[in-house]
């Protein structure tokens, strides 16, 4: 049914939240219901375990990952939040998981790629835009900005809307970057442009590891 007159607070919570609290206890930090959508704040260390349980448990069956993203608030003291939107197609449920990454700690969280293949690009984008590292992701590198982009992470609040440099400087950098070097990744290990690649990329290419794109 199309939701009508949803209250901001006090709508019934998704039953999964109670199941999670019963199963994982302390790892469930908080449950919020805002505008009828249930948000479960979970402990960073146990994220993958919780997601795997949600996916596998026959009572939950969250078999569809809608989105992975992050939120940085304007308040510079407030923690960054990584957000997962999960859906259970058989049970028609919607659940939002959140992990708080307090300021001053490493921006790292486990990847849910082993459970949902669809997380691959979504996590790469989140890394590209926020600089959050997803440990266990098979190929975490920039996806929207080019790989040699060194100005920072665009969606962070300390990143100016128009970039850190002047437009002319940004354009000069973009044109001066050897396009072939960033067009072809590992296939270029034999090409002249190999020397132009960033260090970590060269290491990866040298080791011969497939990036699993």
Interaction pattern, residues 163-202, with another protein; x per rule: CB under 8 A: x--xxxxxxxxxx-x-x---xxx-x---------------
Interaction pattern, residues 63-102, with another protein; x per rule: CB under 8 A: xxxxx-x-xxxxx-------x-x---x--x-x-x------
- Alpha-carbon gap, residue 79 to 75, rounded angstroms: 9
Q: By CB under 8 A, is residue 56 in contact with another protein?
A: no
- Local structure of 187: helix, strand or coil: helix
H or E segment and range at residue 171: helix 167-176
Residues in the interface with another protein (CB under 8 A) total 69
- Alpha-carbon gap, residue 197 to 147, rounded angstroms: 9
- Alpha-carbon gap, residue 153 to 80, rounded angstroms: 13
Contacts of 164 (CB under 8 A, 6+ apart): 151, 152
Closest contact distance (angstroms) between CB of 31 and another protein is: 14
Question: What does the binding site for another protein look like in residue numbers (CB under 8 A)?
Answer: 1-8, 34-35, 37, 39, 63-67, 69, 71-75, 83, 85, 89, 92, 94, 96, 116-122, 125, 129, 142-146, 151, 154-155, 159-163, 166-175, 177, 179, 183-185, 187, 211, 213
């Amino acid at each position: 049914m199309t939701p009508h007159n949803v209250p901001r607070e006090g709508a019934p919570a998704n039953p999964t939240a109670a199941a999670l609290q019963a199963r994982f206890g302390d790892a469930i930090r908080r449950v919020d219901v805002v505008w009828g959508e249930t948000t479960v704040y979970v402990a960073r260390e146990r994220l993958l375990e919780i997601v795997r349980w949600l996916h596998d448990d026959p009572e939950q069956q969250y078999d569809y990952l809608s989105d992975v993203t992050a939120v940085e608030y304007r308040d510079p003291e407030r923690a960054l939040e990584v957000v997962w939107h999960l859906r259970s197609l058989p049970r028609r449920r919607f659940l939002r998981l959140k992990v708080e990454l307090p300021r001053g700690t490493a921006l790292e969280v486990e990847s849910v790629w082993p459970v949902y293949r669809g997380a691959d690009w979504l996590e790469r984008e989140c890394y590209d835009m926020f600089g959050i590292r997803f440990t266990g992701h098979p190929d975490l590198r920039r996806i929207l900005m080019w790989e040699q982009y060194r100005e920072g992470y665009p969606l962070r609040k300390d990143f100016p809307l128009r970039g850190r440099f002047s437009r002319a400087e940004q354009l000069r950098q973009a044109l001066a970057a050897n396009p072939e070097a960033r067009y072809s990744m590992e296939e270029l290990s034999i090409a002249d442009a190999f020397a132009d690649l960033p260090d970590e990329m060269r290491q990866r290419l040298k080791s011969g590891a497939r990036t699993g794109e």
